[in-house]
Amino acid sequence: MKEVLLHIGIHKTGSSSIQESLKGYADQTTRSASFQEVNHSIPMTTIFSKNRYDYHIWRKLGLSRSEVEGKRAEYLDILEKDISDNRHERLIISGEDMSTLYEEEKRDLISFFRTHGLNVRVFTFVRDPQDFAASSIQEHIKGGAKSLPKISTRYRVRLDEFRKGLPADCLIVRDFQKTISEFGDISTGFAKIVGLDIKSPVRANESLSSAATKLIYRLNKLPINTFGSRQRVGARSRVMALLANEFRQEDGGRLDRNMLSMALSPAENDEISYLNSEFGIAYPKVSEAEDVQGVEEYLDDLSDLDVSRLHKIAHLIGAPVETSDSIDNLLISIYMRALISGGLRLEDADMLRDLAMRMEISADFDLSDAYKLMLLARRARPDGPLILKKVEQYEHRLAERRGRS
């Protein structure tokens, strides 16, 4: 092995498509890293980040420090074996989170490979900040954001340590959209530029529709925990897939790019100037009239949603719903059904019980909603005394209400 090529993204520049294309790739001179994960961000961040225990991937899965250390040892062993492979001259590692490592961590990353006698080259795509903002907001929402951060490409932070630590010809920065225009798709463009023979490039992931994105954003804000265990994360992924499939772009349209660009940081024009001065890539200046609150209000607006499609999803997976259910109630019922179909665990009982008790006293929910959740809690912990007591109370109160009507 003579060289390592680090494809560092950046986020929202077709990295997933490139990573799928690189999965298991090997030719006469080049091979892709043999991590099990298609996105090498996970192993590379776990190896080189000093904050690996707080890495969002492991935090969402609830891994302990010792479990993260175990992951790091496994990943490091795989990487060192790849480096020792004398059948190939070049190793490709693709992970956008390498660009978000701290300066010292990036220096350690470069030093690690140089210590092993490898030349280091870094490749990245960049894109117009307005397009980046729209994709980034959608990604934040898919990742569970309850509110929106100020959006910034942070090109200088992502690239400058590599620019300073590598020879000029070892940092390759290309425009995302121009590459697609030239080669047809981003995977083919990447392959041609770095000299790979990818036969069937993977198309870039389709963006979510406006309706699907807004519904996932509403799901994030509901008083339910969709992270913290593999079961909860799995249920969340299933619900997002159901929403994406039912509310497609051709039916519901795209998010308003101009509106979402209002979440860009006022300092974004400095990033645009940096790209132009250091790499000769010019993008239009953006408005400095930042309005994150306005973007949030736009995303919260579900007034034109076809609610019957949520009922269709609920029916598809067997979620108990009623015609009068609100959007929030429908999403809760759909998520809880997805969770229970994936197998409830004992620790889920506390979350379901506490949520049901909050719903019991909330003006936004009906007692029947709390009852449905408490039944799920009972299924997770059949002998829980408080759960059994509340189920009995709810049944009595609901029976009284039916009697009065």
| Contact of 86 with 1, CB cutoff 8 Å | yes
Per-residue model confidence as pLDDT tens digits over 28-57:
999 999 999 999 999 999 999 999 999 999
Q: Per the structure block, which two tokens stand in for 112? A: 């690690």
Distance CA 176, CA 185 (A): 10
Distance CA 110, CA 59 (A): 27
Per-residue model confidence as pLDDT tens digits over 346-394:
667 887 888 888 888 887 778 888 888 888 788 777 788 899 999 999 9
Higher-confidence position of 103 and 134: 103
Distance of CA 285 to the CA centre of its chain: 28
DSSP 342: T
Residue 246 confidence class, pLDDT cut points 50, 70, 90: very high
Alpha carbon separation from 293 to 105, 259, 260 (Å, rounded)? 34, 11, 11
Q: Per the structure block, which two tokens stand in for 35? A: 């991590």
Distance CA 135, CA 177 (A): 14
Q: Per the structure block, which two tokens stand in for 33? A: 């890293």
To which H or E segment does residue 5 belong? strand 3-7
Distance CA 46, CA 24 (A): 21
As a whole-number percent, the residues of the chain with pLDDT over 70 amount to 96
DSSP 254: -
Whether pLDDT at 282 is above 60: yes
Q: Which residue has the tokens 């994960």?
A: 37
Q: In the beta sheet, which residues pair with residue 90?
A: 3, 30
Alpha carbon separation from 388 to 16, 224, 333, 353, 381 (Å, rounded)? 46, 21, 20, 10, 9
To which H or E segment does residue 123 belong? strand 119-126
Alpha carbon separation from 365 to 141, 315, 326, 374 (Å, rounded)? 24, 21, 9, 14
What's the mean pLDDT in 2-15?
92
To which H or E segment does residue 316 belong? helix 308-317
Beta sheet of 119-126, edge-to-edge order: 30-32, 90-94, 3-7, 119-126, 171-175
To which H or E segment does residue 331 belong? helix 327-341
Per-residue model confidence as pLDDT tens digits over 322-338:
888 899 999 998 998 88
Per-residue model confidence as pLDDT tens digits over 204-215:
455 789 999 999
Residue 114 confidence class, pLDDT cut points 50, 70, 90: very high
- Average pLDDT of the residues of the chain: 90
3-state secondary structure of 64: coil
pLDDT at 252: 61
pLDDT at 99: 96
Alpha carbon separation from 396 to 97, 299, 329, 392 (Å, rounded)? 53, 40, 22, 6
Stated pTM of the model: 0.68
Q: Which are the contacts of 22, defined by CB distance < 8 A and separation ≥ 6?
A: 32, 38, 92, 94, 198
| Contact of 149 with 33, CB cutoff 8 Å | no
Q: In the beta sheet, which residues pair with residue 122?
A: 6, 171
Residue 231 CB-density burial (10 A; 0-12 exposed, 13-18 middle, 19+ buried): middle
Question: Within 13 Å and on the Cβ side, how many CA atoms surround 44?
Answer: 27
Residue 340: CB atoms within 10 A of its CB come to 19
